[in-house]
Amino acid sequence: MLNEIAHTLDQAAASATSVDQISLSNPISLAQAYEIQQLSIQQRFNRGEKLVGYKMGFTSRAKMLQMGVDDLIWGRLTDAMQIEEGQEIDLTKYVHPRAEPEIAFLLNKPLSGKVSREEALAAVEAIAPAIEVIDSRYQNFKFSLEDVVADNSSSSGFVIGAWQSKNSNIDGLAMHLKVNDEVVASGSSNDILDHPINSLVEAARCIGAAGEELKAGQIILAGAATAAVALEANQTISANVINLGSCQFKTKG
């Protein structure tokens, strides 16, 4: 059953079509949801994609309220998901595309299990502003916690700005998401688990508990500082993290 669900979600993502919620017909546990996620992403690996990192989800109160959940989740990032700075994306390749401003970490050594904030920061090579494009494959963007985890925690794309020093101050930075130069969502870096480094600590713990390890060279998205904003054609989407930098992409008309 899990393999069948994984195949269905993989095909939904590949063809940009929506499917029914898993939980409506096949109740699954959270552990099974992560197994489905792994099986689904493995199909991408079989097609030649490579793992480049992980994303953390529901790390802000705004996101928890928007999605109606209260647990931290994570998903996998592949090289095919990366959107280059300034690139134009085709919205027909997504079902319900939305964007949210984030902070990204680039690692310079492995990190796994229970670690301190100091140990987490010591494993960081650089820090950058980022945007994650999320896209649920479920009809009407409705899902349970288990549904979303199985669907790679809605992760579909990401943009990374210029990498900055690991010693950059990321405490209490204002973060803005803009659409065509108009600010549509604002928050603080401290909306990400009170401080983005806490998200990296949680990533090491959660992903380590699943038998995986954060590796040198991988990118970790710390999570959104605001609720996600739906995308439309002919837009320029930018994230500005005050004192850290900005990044952007465009949507095709």
Share of the chain above pLDDT 70, in %: 95
Cα dihedral across residues 57, 60, 61, 63: positive or negative: negative
- State how far the Cα of 21 lies from the Cα of 171, in Å rounded to an integer: 38
Does the predicted model carry a pTM greater than 0.85?
yes
140-189 pLDDT, tens digit each:
888 888 999 999 999 999 999 999 999 999 999 999 999 999 999 999 99
| Per-residue DSSP letter, 140 | G
- State how far the Cα of 237 lies from the Cα of 253, in Å rounded to an integer: 14
Share of the chain above pLDDT 90, in %: 89
Reported as type and span, the H/E element at residue 250 is strand 245-251
pLDDT at 141: 85
Q: Is residue 237's pLDDT more than 70?
A: yes
Angle made by CA atoms 106, 49, 134, in degrees to the nearest 5: 65
79-135 pLDDT, tens digit each:
999 999 999 999 999 999 999 999 999 999 999 999 999 999 999 999 999 999 999
pLDDT at 144: 87
Number of domains in the chain: 1
CATH of the domain at 56: 3.90.850.10
**CA 144 from centre of chain:** 17
Q: Determine the structural domain holding residue 231 and report its residue range.
A: 2-251
